[in-house]
A and B are shown apart, each in its own frame.
Chain A
Amino acid sequence: MTATAENTRKNGQATKRPRKSDRTKAEIRLGWMLAGPAFFVMMAVTAYPIAQATFDSLFSFRLTAPDERSFVFLDNYLLLFTDGMFWRIFGVTLLITVVTVAVELVLGFALALVMHRALKSMRGLLRTAILVPYGIITVVSAFAWYYMFDINSGFVNRWLSWVPGIDSDLDWFSNFGTAITVIMASEIWKTTPFIALLLLAGLAQVPDELVEAARVDGATKVQQFTRVIIPNMKAAIMVAVLFRALDAFRIFDNVFIMTGGDANTEVLSLLAYNQSISRLEIGLGSAVSVVLFICVLLMCVIAVKGFKVDLASGTDSSSGKKDGGK
């Protein structure tokens, strides 16, 4: 990506191409002068670190013993992939991603429909309320949920004591099933508004006439929804799902605060953190980071190639509209 950018920049300044007028060249130069700094900063804070991490992952390297650094090639990856713990952690991360995104899609649709159909006078109130979880700090949300379920100060055990299996002695964070449920609940609560807003934007793009026509033709509400509305906002749904899936796969804050990885709730990001920041195992930690990065990349590629998600839709939507002067 960087290479292409450099080429473009060179082309911009090159004088060889005869078909480019002076004005075009000036425009290209100005374009890169304005956009270049932002582009450069973005590359510097991501492309460089991931390259460095890839390099570091090929070494056995502990910060506590910097002199013992040695080249081990793919040994760190081998160590990960042959360790049952890594696959368990990978599975937990995947589980969280799949469950939260699925639940959020349903909940988000419900919220989007409510906001879409609501009276004008209520829309402001609903949007304001729904933006609170979106804007709140994830760590704060994690603590809020943690204290609700906490065995000492939480009220959930008492409120739900009529549910079989729940009583005042239930420690939600001491076993996997209950702990992961609360973690996912807090994640779902915090991020559903985002998906709901994206779906709301999608809903707004479905022409009212189409729904009206279906209604006149005798389609039921459910049919209007599944046959007319959903197919017409497929793009918005796919983008929302992909964005959320990529985000959920990186989950860290809630797990760190609620269990710290106990009760087998460790996730990939936490594993990377524990290896590099807590244990100063830079080599192994970098390998986890690279694996995480590749997973995210793969999810993207699958979505774009397999499901034809056009992430860059809108990129060029109106750039064709050139202004004559200037």
Chain B
Amino acid sequence: MASSKRLTGRQKIGWAVTTVLVLLYALFPVAAIFANSFKTQADLGNPTFWPANWTLTHYEMIFVGSAQELFLTSLRNSIGITLIATFIAVVLATLCAYAIARLNFPGKRIILGAALAVSIFPVISVVTPLFNLWRTIGLYDTWLGLIIPYLSLTLPISIWTLSAFFRQIPWDLEQAAQVDGATQWQAFRKAIIPLAAPGVFTTAILAFFIAWNDFVYGISLTSTESARPVPAALAFFQGASQFEEPTGAISAAAIVVTIPVVILVLLFQRRIVSGLTQGAVKG
């Protein structure tokens, strides 16, 4: 790696340009929709990047105005359903990954293989039968009706990521603590939990991203505001009048649901990167 060497002036400029290019690449579309969300209805008809006049109309519309019902209920659904699905997946995956990392039992490979198979499974293939079944047993258009299929998205990645994390924990520490006079529970709590917690936490973030992103289940298994999550609700936005496109309101709502993602990324980028790469490539 060249990083230990002194950089020449030209190299410095090269790196500055590269960094700006990467930032532009990553943030440009987000900036575009951010700008849209502050445009007046008149500006939305002009092909300019930034608004001529900045306005909060669209944010008012989705938080206190005519789109309030649609947006706030879907936001509550999204948050609730995603957090519950993430929590269940992480709990189940923690137990599972602990067994895989620490115990010797036949079927380990089967479980990891199954997790892999589920993660490549086309979501749409699950939707058709679930749509039919949910309508029959009354789970259609309910929170539970989304939480269950969301587990097919969140569980596999949680199991893989956590197994990779848990394998790296020096479990001998537990015994060392016991030799030093700690009880088994103390040893586990003092030696293992602090080492395992970051992995569990990172896994939760990754699982949250995936569930938060869902669209197929959200649009197929709901029909009203009682369970429809935000991504699906965005497709149902309407303009203030029949002749107005809901561009501004959709952009504002899109920015609101992007905020949690940006916050998590800003706070935990290092962990997210290590979680992603460990789960997918050999840990």
Contact = CB atoms under 8 A, between A and B. Distances in A.
Contacts of A63: 132, 135
Interface in A209-259: 235-236, 239-240, 243, 246-247, 249-250, 252-253, 256-257
Interface in A277-326: 277, 282, 285-286, 289-290, 292-293, 296, 300, 311-319, 322-323, 325-326
A56 B280 contact: no
A35 interface: yes
Interface string A266-286: 001100110011000010011
A147 interface: yes
Contact of A198 (B39, B125, B126, B277): B277
Interface in A1-56: 1, 4-5, 8-9, 11-12, 24, 27-28, 30-32, 34-35, 37-39, 41-43, 45-46, 48-50, 52-53, 56
Given A4-B107, A153-B46, A325-B175, 19 more contacts: A34-B95, A41-B151, A42-B152, A53-B125, A63-B132, A119-B7, A132-B261, A132-B262, A135-B272, A137-B257, A140-B234, A144-B29, A153-B247, A154-B47, A155-B32, A252-B216, A277-B220, A289-B128, A319-B100
Given A137-B231, A313-B282, A49 B129 contact: yes
18 contacts: A28-B105, A32-B99, A34-B98, A45-B118, A46-B121, A117-B1, A122-B15, A131-B269, A132-B261, A137-B261, A140-B33, A155-B47, A201-B277, A243-B120, A246-B120, A272-B124, A272-B125, A289-B129
A65 interface: no
B95 A189 contact: no
A243 B280 CA distance: 9
A37 to B, nearest CB: 5
A47 to B, nearest CB: 9
Given A39-B96, A250-B123, A293-B121, A319 B45 contact: no
A96 to B, nearest CB: 14
A143 B33 contact: yes
A128 B268 CA distance: 9
A4 B216 CA distance: 31
Given A153-B36, A286-B128, A132 B27 contact: yes
Q: Nearest 5 pairs between A and B by C-beta?
A: A31-B105, A314-B282, A201-B277, A34-B99, A38-B96
B103 A31 contact: yes
A322 to B, nearest CB: 6
Interface in B96-143: 96, 98-118, 120-133, 135
What interface size band does chain A fall in?
35 or more
A261 interface: no
Contacts of A46: 117-118, 121, 126, 152
Interface in A32-89: 32, 34-35, 37-39, 41-43, 45-46, 48-50, 52-53, 56, 63
A103 interface: no
Interface stretch (B17-25, B56-64, B65-73, B196-204): B17-25
Contact of B116 (A24, A124, A135, A311): A311
Contacts of A243: 120, 280
Interface string B253-279: 010011001101110011011001110
Contact of A41 (B92, B216, B269): B92
A118 B96 CA distance: 37
Contact of B107 (A8, A201, A272): A8
A175 interface: no
A31 B112 CA distance: 13
A152 B45 contact: yes
B261 A323 contact: no
B75 interface: no
A270 B207 CA distance: 25
A145 B29 contact: yes
Nearest to A300: B120
